[in-house]
Amino acid sequence: MAHETRLRIVSFLREFLSASLRVALGPRHELHATHSVDELDDTLRVIAADIAIVDPEFASQALLELLAVLDKHVSVHVVSYTTVSPAAMRAQMQFALRGHRHLVLKGFDDGPVQFRTYLEDLRGDALGEILLAQLRPALERLPTPVSRAIEELFRSPATIESVPALARLAGARHRRPLHEALARAGWQSAGTLIRAARVVRAYAYLTQGDNRVRDVAAKLGYATSRGLANEVRAVSGLLPSSLGALTPQAFLARVAAGLVRPPVWAQRAPAADLALERVAPEERFAD
C-alpha cells in the first residue's frame, strides 16, 4: 500500500472555516491554528510548515500586513480558503496579484475528501521532489516499502524525526532490518538520510526569503544554530552562510553524492530479484 503524504499546516481562518478544515484534514495531518497576523508570523518562524491556509477576508483590516508575512515565508504554499462574499473576492484579488493563486471556496470546493486531496497534491518542498527524481535508480534497488518510506521522508522531513520512526514507516519493528536493506543496496545509514532530508529543507528556507540560521534551526528542531551548521556542512560540505552560492542543482548533486555509493549499488541485483529474507534477514517488510 502506498504511503500518503503527511502535512504540517498552519491556518489563519475564521472559526467556521477552521472547523471545516479540521474535518477535511482528519487525524493524519498536523494543524496549527493561529488567530492573528502576528501569531501566524511567529508560528511560521518556528514550525516547518508545508502549507499556510489563510482567509483573506479575515485579515481585511490588515491585508497588507498578512501579505508581508507570507512574502517572508516563500517556501510555504499559500492556500486561500474563504467565502464568495464581495469583500472576500476583493481581498483575494490582492492575493492573486501577489502570486497566491491557490483558492478553495466555502461550500463549493471544500468537501472533506476533495479538500484533503487538493492539499495533499501540493508538495511542501519542490527540492525534495527533484532529489527523489535524481535518486530514482537507487530507490529502485530497495524493497518497495523502504523506497516508499524514503520518498515520504524527503517530502515531509518534519514528520519523520528518528530512525525508529523511519523503520516503522518501512514496515519494520526495529531499525536493524532497515539498516541491512539500505546497506545491501549501497545506501548510507538511515540516520544520514534523515539528516540529509532536514538539510534539503534548510537549504530551501535559507536561500528563499530572509530566514536567519537560528530561526531555521528552531523551525527544523535543532537545539542550537551550531547543530544545524554542523549537519549542513556534513551533508553539503559548506556552511549555511555559503549555501546561497550554490544553485539548487549543484546543492542537490552534493546531497545525492553523499547518500548512495554507486560502485556498490550499481553492481547489485535489483531488490525485486532478491528474496526478501536476503534483503532483510531479521524482518519482512510488508508491501
Instruction: From 85, 120, 155, give the residue that closes a domain.
Output: 120
Half-sphere exposure of 95 (CA within 13 A, CB side): 29
Nearest alpha carbon to residue 199 among 226, 174, 234, 173? 234
Same domain, 138 and 103: no
* Measured distance CA(266)–CA(171) in Å, rounded: 25
| 274 pLDDT tier (thresholds 50, 70, 90) | very low
Pick from 41-50, 115-124, 278-287: least confident = 278-287
Residue 255: give its domain's CATH number.
Answer: 1.10.10.60
Instruction: From 99, 120, 141, give the residue that closes a domain.
Output: 120
Residue 267 has pLDDT above 80, yes or no: no
Q: Which residue has the higher pLDDT, 1 or 41?
A: 41
Instruction: From 65, 98, 120, give the residue that closes a domain.
Output: 120
Across the chain, which distance is largest between two alpha carbons, in Å? 64
Please say whether the beta carbons of 159 and 30 come within 8 A.
Answer: yes
111 C-beta neighbours (distance < 10 Å), count: 14
Residue 135 has pLDDT above 80, yes or no: yes
In a domain, 285, yes or no: no
Residue 264 has pLDDT above 50, yes or no: no
Residue 275 has pLDDT above 70, yes or no: no
- Domain span including residue 24: 8-120
What rounded mean pLDDT belongs to the chain?
A: 84
Residue 166 has pLDDT above 60, yes or no: yes
Same domain, 269 and 165: yes
Same domain, 138 and 229: yes
* Measured distance CA(37)–CA(210) in Å, rounded: 18
- C-alpha triplet 244, 211, 98: angle, nearest 5°: 95
| 124 pLDDT tier (thresholds 50, 70, 90) | low
Same domain, 45 and 112: yes
Our separate counts of H helices and E strands in the chain read 16, 5
Please tell me whether residue 117 adopts helix, strand or coil conformation.
helix
Residue 266 has pLDDT above 80, yes or no: no
Which pLDDT score is estimated for 32? 95
Residues 233-261: tens digit of each pLDDT? 999 988 888 888 888 888 999 999 999 97
* Measured distance CA(41)–CA(214) in Å, rounded: 16
Residues 197-209: tens digit of each pLDDT? 999 988 888 887 6
